């Protein structure tokens, strides 16, 4: 941890709360291991907070995005990731909007194909919950 951050953590918890309040917007939804909020400083983003350090879905999503980002054939199916915190517990991802029905055909490597794992982004359907797909994608995208 950077010394300046360690120092801030020693200060009054009210200051920590203030810092958090600057960035965290409204609660969007809660999943298996993450709670997702809007971002007050950039409403094109969501803040995905991994509630404990067991699943590491934020890290997996970040690695998957990094793997596909430069290949449009694959990247068009994923909500882009913008930033991962040094300890992996906070992820900034592009915000998607809920969909009720999925397209008839989706790539099989997108795993569990239920509407809540997908959203609308820039007019197309993308997967926004892909933190469990690391194993499948590692094989499929080679």
List residues bridging with 119 in a β-sheet.
98, 126
What's the min distance (Å) between Cβ of 116 and ligand ADP? 4
* Gap between the Cα atoms of 51 and 78, Å rounded: 22
| From 2-10, 12-20, 69-77, 124-132, span contacting ligand ADP (CB under 6 A) | 124-132
* Structure-block tokens of residue 91: 């992820």
Question: What is the contact mask toward ligand ADP in residues 2 to 41, using x (rule: CB under 6 A)?
Answer: --------------------------xx-xxxx-x-----
Is residue 129 a contact residue for ligand ADP (CB under 6 A)?
yes
Q: Which does 125 bind (CB under 5 to 8 A by kind): ligand ADP, Mg ion, none?
A: none
What's the min distance (Å) between Cβ of 15 and Mg ion? 32
* Structure-block tokens of residue 25: 């917007």
In terms of CB distance, is 31 or 80 closer to Mg ion?
Answer: 31
Is residue 58 a contact residue for ligand ADP (CB under 6 A)?
no
Cross-sheet strand order for the sheet of 118-121: 97-98, 118-121, 124-127
Burial (CB count <10 Å: 0-12, 13-18, 19+), residue 104: exposed
Q: Which residues of 33-68 are buried (b: 16+ CB within 10 A; e: fewer)?
A: bbebbbbeeeeebbbbbbeeeebbbbbbbbbbbebb
Is residue 129 a contact residue for Mg ion (CB under 5 A)?
yes
Is residue 119 a contact residue for ligand ADP (CB under 6 A)?
yes
Name the site residues for Mg ion (rule: CB under 5 A): 31, 129
Name the site residues for ligand ADP (rule: CB under 6 A): 28-29, 31-34, 36, 46, 57, 79, 93, 95-96, 116, 119, 128-129, 131
């Amino acid at each position: 941890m950077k010394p300046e951050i360690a120092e801030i953590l020693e200060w009054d918890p009210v200051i920590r709360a203030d810092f958090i309040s600057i960035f965290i917007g409204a609660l969007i939804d809660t999943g298996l291991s993450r709670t997702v909020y809007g971002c007050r400083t950039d409403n094109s983003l969501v803040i995905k907070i991994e509630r404990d350090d067991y699943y590491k879905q934020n890290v997996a999503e970040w690695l998957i995005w990094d793997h596909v980002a430069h290949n449009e054939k694959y990247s068009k199916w994923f909500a882009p990731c913008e930033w991962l915190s040094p300890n992996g517990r906070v992820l900034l991802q592009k915000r998607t909007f809920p969909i009720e029905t999925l397209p008839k055909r989706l790539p099989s490597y997108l795993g569990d194909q239920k509407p809540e794992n997908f959203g609308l982004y820039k007019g197309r359907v993308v997967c926004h919950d892909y933190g469990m797909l690391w194993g499948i994608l590692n094989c499929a995208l080679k």
